[in-house]
Amino acid sequence: MKILTKFRNYIITPFAKSNLTMQSNLNYIKSLFKSDNVIIDKSYNQPKKILLLALFEKGELRQDIVNLLKVAKQQDLFVVCVNTLKLKNPKEHDELFDCYIEKYNFGRDFGSYKTGFLYLFKKDYIAKCPRLILLNDSLFYSRKNLNNFISSLSNTDIEVLGATENHEIEHHLGSFCLSLSNSILTKKKFIKYWKKFRRSDVRPKVIKYGEMKLSKTLKKCTSSPNQFQALFDITWFTNVISNDIKLIEHVSDFYRTSDFVDWNKASLRSVIQRLSDRYIHIDPGMLHIEGNVDVNMNDSIVNFAESTSGVVRHVSKAVKANDEEEKVIRERVHQELRNDLYECFSFGSQIHQNAILLHFLGMPIIKLDGLYRGMFSPADVENIANQLEEDEVVFFKRMLYSKPFGGNVLSGWKQAAFYRGLI
């Protein structure tokens, strides 16, 4: 961002905050005169695991949401959906909904979560519920591995299990996907959190008092730290990478490429730099030469490498390695590539940082704001799209490309608000 633009946004930010707060307060007042509309309300006759899904769907349900609900019903989940918009004919999906509620559009996803939990508390379903899965439609649900994914969330013994974690500000689980045991659902702290949660349309407030505070509450409710985990965490990732040589060979195909966000990104170039820093040394016999000859693989010659084999060839050529030495170099390349991946994996939000690789490895959820927030580039979107089933591609790309990077398309106070994370 240019210096003048940064300065202008800094000046405008207080106005943007005030404007958004005023809009949220007005929306709150309007919400006081709106009641929730429970359109489908089937009885919860026997203890079943529950899916609570927050929706922002107008007219028709997205096809990926229909696919998700079909998987949920196949696995005998009791489906509760809270929608902040209106469907033309909700009852046409009667076989997919056990409860369908339409509410006034206030409070973002956590406002819908609260509506859903208050409904479940009022009906006294929570006491009987063995497990609850919390999801929302800020995600695209790919059919790839979706059945296994929902099964993993539904059948785990971990008290609090998320899909991915986030180390920004402080460690927490992504609130777009949580799986909670009955021991958590019935804790007084958990119930109190939802009853006292104050809805807001202001994004930072929802993050602070929603996602962050919910994670803190859930940590307090668990019986031990090991009972608060993410399905696709760094431990899982290191196990996958350490045992898959074929993946290591072409893992660069799954690197994120966007430069709008300054999280460290894995790259073959950084692997070469690691090798150069750690293993490449100047021949002692050349140290007396004037100018101190710099033996640096990055500067010696231009090379093209799109896989680990390409890096091995480049390094072997640079140091004039024989066949035995090349085998050692290959092992070191694999080791340093893993190290690079491990270090970059935990930057920021894992579902954004590692979206392409995680989807390839079996995580069927993709954040729809990836391009808008600057975490994805168009090349990243295309890379994910290439992994989808043919009939999913056009719809997926349309949803992502309909929200291009906010820093490029927003202006005035909205641009300032975007860069400050207010919208």
Sign of CA dihedral 100, 198, 130, 157: positive
Q: Are residues 302 and 321 in the same domain?
A: yes
H or E stretch including 367? strand 365-367
| pTM score of the predicted model | 0.91
Q: How far apart are CA 334 and CA 339, in angstroms?
A: 9
101 within domain boundaries: yes
23 within domain boundaries: no
Q: How far apart are CA 391 and CA 317, in angstroms?
A: 45
Q: Are residues 154 and 248 in the same domain?
A: no
- What pLDDT was estimated at residue 313? 87
Q: Are residues 69 and 201 in the same domain?
A: yes
The pLDDT-based confidence of 276 (bands split at 50, 70, 90) is confident
The pLDDT-based confidence of 277 (bands split at 50, 70, 90) is confident
Q: Are residues 259 and 302 in the same domain?
A: yes
Q: How far apart are CA 216 and CA 382, in angstroms?
A: 36
| Rounded average pLDDT over 55-78 | 97
Which residues span the domain enclosing 330?
240-345
| Rounded average pLDDT over 143-168 | 96
Return phi, psi of residue 155, to 5°.
-110, 10
Q: Are residues 154 and 285 in the same domain?
A: no
The pLDDT-based confidence of 304 (bands split at 50, 70, 90) is confident
Q: Are residues 196 and 310 in the same domain?
A: no
Kindly tell me if the per-residue pLDDT of 208 is higher than 70. yes
H or E stretch including 412? helix 412-419
Burial (Cβ within 10 Å: 0-12, 13-18, ≥19) of residue 134 = buried
- What pLDDT was estimated at residue 281? 66
- What pLDDT was estimated at residue 290? 46
- What pLDDT was estimated at residue 294? 45
CA–CA distances in Å: residue 70 to residues 76, 88, 97, 143, 242 = 10, 20, 10, 11, 35
- Which residue would you say has higher pLDDT here, 347 or 158? 158
Q: Are residues 191 and 273 in the same domain?
A: no
Longest dimension (CA), the chain: 86
Kindly tell me if the per-residue pLDDT of 404 is higher than 70. yes
DSSP H helical ranges for 232-375:
234-242, 245-250, 268-279, 297-300, 308-319, 323-345, 350-353, 355-360
- What pLDDT was estimated at residue 345? 92
- What pLDDT was estimated at residue 284? 53
423 within domain boundaries: no
Q: Are residues 213 and 244 in the same domain?
A: no
- What pLDDT was estimated at residue 240? 92
Q: Which two tokens stand for residue 12?
A: 């405008």
Q: Are residues 65 and 207 in the same domain?
A: yes
Lowest mean pLDDT among 76-80, 211-215, 311-315: 311-315
54: which strand partners?
82, 136
13 within domain boundaries: no
- Which residue would you say has higher pLDDT here, 191 or 329? 191
CA–CA distances in Å: residue 59 to residues 17, 84, 90 = 32, 12, 9
The pLDDT-based confidence of 269 (bands split at 50, 70, 90) is confident
Lowest mean pLDDT among 130-139, 148-157, 338-347: 338-347
- Which residue would you say has higher pLDDT here, 16 or 397? 397
**CB of 261 closer than 8 Å to CB of 348:** yes
**Taking each helix axis from N to C terminus, what angle separates 188-196 and 108-123, rounded to the nearest 10 degrees?**
120
Q: Are residues 215 and 274 in the same domain?
A: no
Burial (Cβ within 10 Å: 0-12, 13-18, ≥19) of residue 291 = exposed
**CB of 135 closer than 8 Å to CB of 177:** yes
**pLDDT single digits (tens) 139-150:** 999 999 999 999
The pLDDT-based confidence of 292 (bands split at 50, 70, 90) is very low
57 within domain boundaries: yes
Q: Which two tokens stand for residue 109?
A: 């996803």
- Amino acid occupying residue 381: V
Burial (Cβ within 10 Å: 0-12, 13-18, ≥19) of residue 52 = buried
The pLDDT-based confidence of 272 (bands split at 50, 70, 90) is confident
The pLDDT-based confidence of 218 (bands split at 50, 70, 90) is very high
Of 231, 248, 270, the residue that ends a domain is 231
Of 166, 200, 231, the residue that ends a domain is 231
- Which residue would you say has higher pLDDT here, 291 or 4? 4
Q: How far apart are CA 252 and CA 237, in angstroms?
A: 15
Kindly tell me if the per-residue pLDDT of 293 is higher than 80. no
400 within domain boundaries: no
- Which residue would you say has higher pLDDT here, 148 or 330? 148
Supply the CATH number for residue 96's domain: 3.90.550
Domain count, the chain: 2
Q: Are residues 212 and 85 in the same domain?
A: yes
Q: Are residues 216 and 68 in the same domain?
A: yes
Kindly tell me if the per-residue pLDDT of 183 is higher than 70. yes
Q: Which residue has the tokens 């008290």?
A: 159
- What pLDDT was estimated at residue 2? 67
Q: CB under 8 Å to 41, separation ≥6 — which residues?
A: 99
Q: Which two tokens stand for residue 33?
A: 């005169």
Burial (Cβ within 10 Å: 0-12, 13-18, ≥19) of residue 89 = exposed
Mean per-residue pLDDT of the chain: 91
Q: Which two tokens stand for residue 307?
A: 């896989």
H or E stretch including 194? helix 188-196
- What pLDDT was estimated at residue 9? 77
The pLDDT-based confidence of 171 (bands split at 50, 70, 90) is confident
